A and B are shown apart, each in its own frame.
Chain A
Amino acid sequence: SQQGEEDPQALSIQEGENATMNCSYKTSINNLQWYRQNSGRGLVHLILIRSNEREKHSGRLRVTLDTSKKSSSLLITASRAADTASYFCATGQGGSEKLVFGKGMKLTVNP
């Protein structure tokens, strides 16, 4: 079963705008990760935030984590056409459990 659920499922914006994607999950986690996938390609890791962290930055990416609400958000600032891709959140529960991915969210950035 899927752990993370991304919202919205699809988002279309203009270049230069900010894009915000949300992820909700159900069980306690060790970490939450965000991945990007260009059409038909493999996934690329973007950022990992641990359960004891609330916010993390990497370049134009900003991730927040609210463990009390079991939710995370990914903000991409000053979006570019090259950011067009599907974005997935994934949750790790620690121990020997598998990393569980959400169904993904498709972002389209129009030039």
Chain B
Amino acid sequence: KAGVTQTPRYLIKTRGQQVTLSCSPISGHRSVSWYQQTPGQGLQFLFEYFSETQRNKGNFPGRFSGRQFSNSRSEMNVSTLELGDSALYLCASSPTALANTGELFFGEGSRLTVL
């Protein structure tokens, strides 16, 4: 069974630009969560989606948005990039309907650098 796939793995953007990151969960998993990881803040929760519905949202500004498609694939978008958005963005899928009740399967992440 293929794991969680995140694309792109690495990207460099400049301030003010926008970026879209993609996540394909493990086949059959309908719950997808996104996390931002930085050295200073650790793992910060961004969103959780289940069956195309956003079920939870973290404390991030409106520049961060996401969505989930009918095939459970998910995308997140960050607009008007700031230097502080440089981070490793991790996507995780879960076989359980409630993401916090079972293990999460993580992708390798998308490393975003904002110059």
Contacts and interface: CB of A to CB of B under 8 A. Distances in A.
A2 B44 CA distance: 8
Contacts of B107: 42
Given A41-B108, A104-B42, A48 B102 contact: yes
A101 B103 CA distance: 12
Question: Chain B interface residue count: which class?
Answer: 20 to 34
B43 A88 contact: yes
A93 B48 CA distance: 15
A100 B106 contact: no
Nearest to A93: B100
A105 B56 CA distance: 26
Given A42-B107, A44-B106, A98 B99 contact: yes
A45 B105 contact: yes
Given A42-B4, A101-B43, A96 B104 contact: no
B64 to A, nearest CB: 15
Nearest to B102: A48
B38 to A, nearest CB: 11
Contacts of A92: 100-101
Contacts of B8: none
B100 A98 contact: yes
Contact of B100 (A35, A41, A99): A99
Contact of B108 (A42, A45, A94, A103): A42
B25 to A, nearest CB: 13
Nearest to A95: B98
Contact of A41 (B42, B45, B92, B109): B109
B90 interface: yes
B81 interface: no
Interface in B18-76: 33, 35, 42-43, 45, 48, 55-56, 58
B13 interface: no
Given A40-B88, A40-B111, A99 B42 contact: no
